[in-house]
Structure 1
Amino acid sequence: MPLPTVVRDRCRAFLPAGEELRYVFPGTSLWSGRVAMMADFIIAVTDSQIIVLGCRWFRRHRPRSVWATYPRGFRLGPVDLYGSLPPTVTIGTLLLEIDDEYVPVIRAADAEIEDCLPLDPLPDL
């Protein structure tokens, strides 16, 4: 289920002027660099960058600050699927646990990047 409009509007407040929100999904961090931590984030993808927004404690859908930014050419996937465990994705130094319903969002965002297209399985010989 997509994030509600009110959450998307809160995320737009952190975007640079003139940027449009293309994809947005929440995640819960399990690890950041060398530190285990449990915090909520929202990842906002625009045409030119990926913005990781830190959320308030116990308020998963209330972003409070920009945690990190990456250029749009930065790949979000691959999504690690471990059977019965929730899917995870690594963005920079963050290891995020995401809900199953947002896996297609991450894959769609990555599919828009030209360098991330899969190789042709049947190349011309």
Structure 2
Amino acid sequence: MPVSSGVRKRIKELLDPDDEIQYVFPADIFGSANPCVFFAVTRKTITIMTTGRLSRKSPKRVIATTLRNHRIGPVETGGNPWFEFNGVVYEIDDEYISVVHAADAEISRSAAKPEDPLPDL
């Protein structure tokens, strides 16, 4: 199920007002007592927000921010889909694998672009 507009609005409130959300998906921290988080991929950052213990649907606070030049995956799909990001293992639902792949593909495309040979023109 896609992330609702209400959740996206709450996520936007926790981000830099000048930034723009590109991708959002929920994930569970493997083996954690407070497992549910949201990943918000923006033009500038990858931001991870916790939902707290009482609700799995409303982001409460930012727990980590990484510059956008990092890949999130690869997603391992043998069993429950999972990936490791910044040393933490996250599980996701099957429907969000394509979201992670799309976010990572943008990084690959940006890295493949040649430098401007005449940047001062």
Alignment TM-score > 0.5, same fold: yes
* Structure 2 residue 54 is the aligned partner of structure 1 residue 37: no
Partner deviation per Cα, 1:69-100 (whole Å, 9 max, x = no partner) = 01101110100111xx2100111122111000
**2:84 is aligned with 1:100:** no
In the alignment, what sits opposite 2:49?
A: 53
Between structures 1 and 2, the one with greater helix share: 2
Q: Give the Cα–Cα distance (whole angstroms) in 2 for the partners of residues 117 and 99 of structure 1.
A: 28
The alignment's TM-score, normalised by the length of structure 1, stands at: 0.82
User: 1:23 & 1:76 partners in 2: Cα distance?
Assistant: 12
Q: How many residues align structurally?
A: 111
Where does the alignment leave 5 or more consecutive residues of structure 1 unmatched?
31-35, 119-125
- For 1:40, the aligned partner's letter is C
- Tell me the TM-score normalised to structure 2 length: 0.85
User: Is 1:75 aligned with 2:74?
Assistant: no
Counterpart of 2:117 in structure 1 is none
Q: List gaps (5 residues or longer) in structure 2.
A: 113-121
Distance 1:99 1:116 in 2: 27
Higher-strand-fraction structure: 1
Look up the equivalent residue of 2:81 and give its one-letter code. Answer: P
2:104 to 103, 110, 114: 110
Aligned Cα root-mean-square deviation (Å): 1.8
Distance change in 2, residues 1:16/1:62 (3 Å): same
Shift of 1:59: 1.1
